[in-house]
Structure 1
Amino acid sequence: MSEDLPALMSYLDGLPEPHIVFDMDYRIVSANTAYLREFAQGQDVRGQTCYEVSHRFQAPCDQAGESCPRARALVSGQRERVLHLHHTPCGEAYVNIELAPLKDRRGRIRYFIEKMESLAHHHGAPGEQGMVGRAPAFRATLEMALRVAPSAASVLLLGESGTGKELMAKAIHEASPRASAPFVVVECASLSETLFESELFGHEKGAFTGATSARVGLAESANGGTLFLDEVGDIPMSMQVKLLRLLETGTFRRVGSSDLRHTDVRVIAATHRPLREMIAQQQFRVDLYHRLSTFPIRLPPLRERREDIPLLADTLLARVAPLRHLSIAPAGQHRLMSHPFSGNIRELRNVMERAALFCDGDVIELSHIEQALAADAWESGAPTALAVPMVSAPVPALPGHRQAQADAALWEAAQAHRGSRAELAASLGMSERSLYRKLKALKR
């Protein structure tokens, strides 16, 4: 095997994808030019362990909380794939790892070769665009998405509103062979039965009143790319059979035409509705369901990935207030992590935008978070945003006008609260006695 390494390394050096070869002791024996450029800033990494270079770990991945493709390959003797967070010159980013064992002439594994594919729009640290997260639930979902992306299989994204289904659909498209072709979104929930057919398939001039010219439909516009059916559970029953024909044959007719047209699309659908229950109630076609759900993926709600909330909050702050360089005080982070966020990431974004507007300085304090959360309670008249127990955290002393803001936020929170004083105190991270003293002082 050793005598074959120079030829192998020469071959790998000509490949555009980053590759390394390491031995049974994790020591890198070769890294191609693409790897040195993308992950090592041109520095020689030979002799270092793969886990030191990629993760800054002092122990192998499977001893440091990561899945290890080497460990899997030793058991299976075959090629293995995993999703890892790697250190790069631009910070932490997700990398798709494909590892293959290299055997000697006696069939014994002697080396491993790793191919790496960077995922530019997926981050384990705050990023301006793309999907962000480190929680196990998020990583498992992302790994499933990246596994199905290179195929032509239809994907059904299931999850509550605000969990990022459209972002995930776009991520699958961008990791697929169709990435350079169109990604076309069909907003199924906003289309009436009469509009759905015209929007999806197009229409001819004079097909109906107001059709003053022919129009290309979304299915035809997506030719060669991906057609994303958002909220597919809202498609009228009468249109579902026509959609099924498109999925099965790739053919359709424009409204007002008898000519059969063809389009080549990969379909990704998404819904927050319980499609199986709708099938039982004869509100959704079972054959369409099975055609759409070749590869179903469930997106976790925010309450199942609470450890990602500070990371997501920082990312969203950078998006809603890009020029201010805001940070969140520890007490504010604890409060966010205790909130149920029934609206998931979309609700978190709203909260962070409000908090940024309430904050005049560079640090978003607990008082700003409380004000931002209370806005939903004022609108609904419900105490849900204020009556959820939080992780207790010290509230920093605030000088001057910030103290006045904190006092105003406390008074407004007390006025909006509908539960007991003990519940309000718990939600604000203070004792009931402290709350009583503060409210009494504010009444004077």
Structure 2
Amino acid sequence: MNPTPKPFAELTSFLEEQAEPYILLDDHYRILAANAAYRRAFSPNQSVVGRMCYEVSHRYSSPCDQNGETCPLARARASGRRERVLHLHHTPKGEAHVNIELTPLRNAAGAITLYVEKTENLRRSSDPDDGAKPLLIGRSPAFMAMLELVARVGPSMATVLLLGESGTGKELVARAVHEASPRASKPLVAVDCSSLPETLFESELFGHERGAFTGAHAAHAGLVEVASGGTLFLDEVGDIPLSMQVKLLRLLETGTYRRVGSSELRRADIRVVSATHRNLEQMVRDGQFREDLYFRLSTFPIRLPPLRERAGDIALLAPALLQRVAPGRQLRISAEALALLQTQPWPGNVRELRNLLERAALLCDGSVIEVSHVQQALGMTVPAPVTKTAPGCAPRPAATAPAELPAAEQSGAATAPLDPNLPLRELELRVLRERLARHQGSRASLAAELGISERTLYRRLRALASGAPK
């Protein structure tokens, strides 16, 4: 292969000095030069000069846009300007999501002849070396579109609103936003808004002074203060009591707050990311959520696709989840079992998939999870209640058994065999009654047994017990 023409020697020398991976391309996708950072990241043992960019990055034999992906070079050729896309690249350590920024270069006549491509890892989203934290895994169009929005908003200070069903990984996406920002070295502090009673919400968020209320024996820093310099993640923001929403609005509008029991105005140095499974727009219309707060929170909304919209990602998710639920075992999934997983509706999304795989792993004595293990694990699943999400804030359950449950349900009384012809709602209630009657432990252990969160268990119990047939 001929060396890089002399007129571009200065350019290649400049690229070589850059810390980020760079390559120089011609109009036919051929790599003319690659700096040391690119060689280390993508092809440490083989030269890339003279090869096609799509061959090195994707193992493709044709350009990305001919393989169902967005090609930045094709876009830059058409637009005549710099283009940015998110790709899933092959690396010696495995696949990794990367930001691609491609800039066209013009000759003296104004024609585009060369392209400079810069590659930047999307931190933490799929780092093969990071086994300590759950990862965002996927390559489906819906997933990649979501992740591209994360990559774009991450470096900014914009307030982000994550919208998605339960179990879609909102906290993981919030972490990806945080770790793609300049605040990545500072704390990410999560606030579970649905678990904070109204009487404690202000104190937990903003802190309190000694003697501010009964039991306040010492001053207490709130979560806003703990998150200083980093990101405050408000999970299930739709569950914030209406009376407390104005206080949060003031924080977002002015960047200031006061501890309970103090007149001192404090300044918050935080970035806010919030999440909800609720329809906030409907809650605004119903007077259950402040419109001004909604607009403050939703500067940059990101919708998280449910698992049923990215069933193709199950082939990637399942092996990674198995490594976490069955560490130390070299488990794999048969093609038939994987095909069965891909046909399920997954109302609980990735969380439900994880729980099912853990059950299947416990049922499997060998090294391969077969379709029979998946079928057995599916048969153990308690049907999810068919209930509509209330437009307002859900009532907060007490820490003890819901008062609405009849005494018989809380006793060890035996239950009659279930009739599969019963209406679904009554069947679900009777299944839960039976499990409650047989269970001798805490609500937390029951939730773990059912493969759901404790919060979800409380919601189901209240939803099913409220006006349900006995």
Specify the alignment match of 1:357 in structure 2.
362
Q: Does the aligned pair in 2 maintain the 1:124–1:132 contact within 8 Å?
A: no
Deviations 1:148-193 (A, max 9, x none): 1111111100010000000001001101111111111111000011
Moved segments of 4+, more than 6 Å: 124-127, 379-382
Q: CA deviation at 1:91?
A: 1.5
Specify the alignment match of 1:45 in structure 2.
48
Which amino acid letter does the alignment assign opposite residue 372 of structure 1? A
Whether 2:159 is the aligned partner of 1:188: answer no
Structure 1 CA distance for aligned equivalents of residues 93 and 122 of structure 2: 12
Q: CA deviation at 1:310?
A: 2.5
Specify the alignment match of 1:97 in structure 2.
100
Q: Does the aligned pair in 1 maintain the 2:93–2:128 contact within 8 Å?
A: no
Task: Pick one of 250, 260, 284 that aligns with 2:265.
Answer: 260
TM-score, normalized by length of structure 2?
0.79
| Match runs of 1:127-206 below 5 Å | 128=131, 129-206=134-211
Structure 2 CA distance for aligned equivalents of residues 196 and 87 of structure 1: 46
Structure 2 CA distance for aligned equivalents of residues 279 and 336 of structure 1: 37
Specify the alignment match of 1:347 in structure 2.
352
Q: Does the aligned pair in 2 maintain the 1:73–1:80 contact within 8 Å?
A: yes
Whether 2:76 is the aligned partner of 1:70: answer no
Structure 1 CA distance for aligned equivalents of residues 32 and 384 of structure 2: 62
Structure 2 CA distance for aligned equivalents of residues 342 and 363 of structure 1: 26
Structure 1, 352-361 or 1-10: larger mean CA deviation: 1-10
Q: CA deviation at 1:57?
A: 1.0
Which amino acid letter does the alignment assign opposite residue 11 of structure 1? F
Change (3 A) 1:151 1:163: same
Change (3 A) 1:124 1:261: closer
Q: Does the aligned pair in 2 maintain the 1:85–1:124 contact within 8 Å?
A: no
Change (3 A) 1:345 1:226: same
CA RMSD, 1 decimal:
2.1
Change (3 A) 1:325 1:280: same
Structure 2 CA distance for aligned equivalents of residues 271 and 21 of structure 1: 43
| Match runs of 1:107-118 below 5 Å | 107-118=110-121
Specify the alignment match of 1:223 in structure 2.
228
Which amino acid letter does the alignment assign opposite residue 155 of structure 2? P
Structure 1, 214-223 or 284-293: larger mean CA deviation: 214-223
Structure 2 CA distance for aligned equivalents of residues 196 and 285 of structure 1: 17
Q: CA deviation at 1:119?
A: 2.6
Structure 2 CA distance for aligned equivalents of residues 308 and 126 of structure 1: 20
Specify the alignment match of 1:56 in structure 2.
59
Q: Does the aligned pair in 1 maintain the 2:54–2:60 contact within 8 Å?
A: yes
Q: CA deviation at 1:418?
A: 3.1
Whether 2:246 is the aligned partner of 1:244: answer no
Q: Does the aligned pair in 2 maintain the 1:164–1:345 contact within 8 Å?
A: yes
Task: Pick one of 185, 196, 209 that aligns with 2:214.
Answer: 209
% identical equivalent positions? 61
Q: Does the aligned pair in 1 maintain the 2:122–2:151 contact within 8 Å?
A: no
Which amino acid letter does the alignment assign opposite residue 318 of structure 2? A
Structure 2 CA distance for aligned equivalents of residues 324 and 24 of structure 1: 48
Structure 2 CA distance for aligned equivalents of residues 417 and 100 of structure 1: 65
Which amino acid letter does the alignment assign opposite residue 329 of structure 2? R
Change (3 A) 1:380 1:288: closer
Which amino acid letter does the alignment assign opposite residue 142 of structure 1? L
Structure 2 CA distance for aligned equivalents of residues 207 and 97 of structure 1: 52
Structure 2 CA distance for aligned equivalents of residues 169 and 208 of structure 1: 33
Structure 2 CA distance for aligned equivalents of residues 28 and 133 of structure 1: 27
Q: Does the aligned pair in 1 maintain the 2:231–2:273 contact within 8 Å?
A: yes
Q: CA deviation at 1:333?
A: 1.2
Any gaps of 5 or more consecutive residues in structure 2? 387-416, 422-470
Change (3 A) 1:125 1:306: farther
Q: Does the aligned pair in 2 maintain the 1:125–1:133 contact within 8 Å?
A: no
State the number of aligned residues. 387
Change (3 A) 1:257 1:5: same
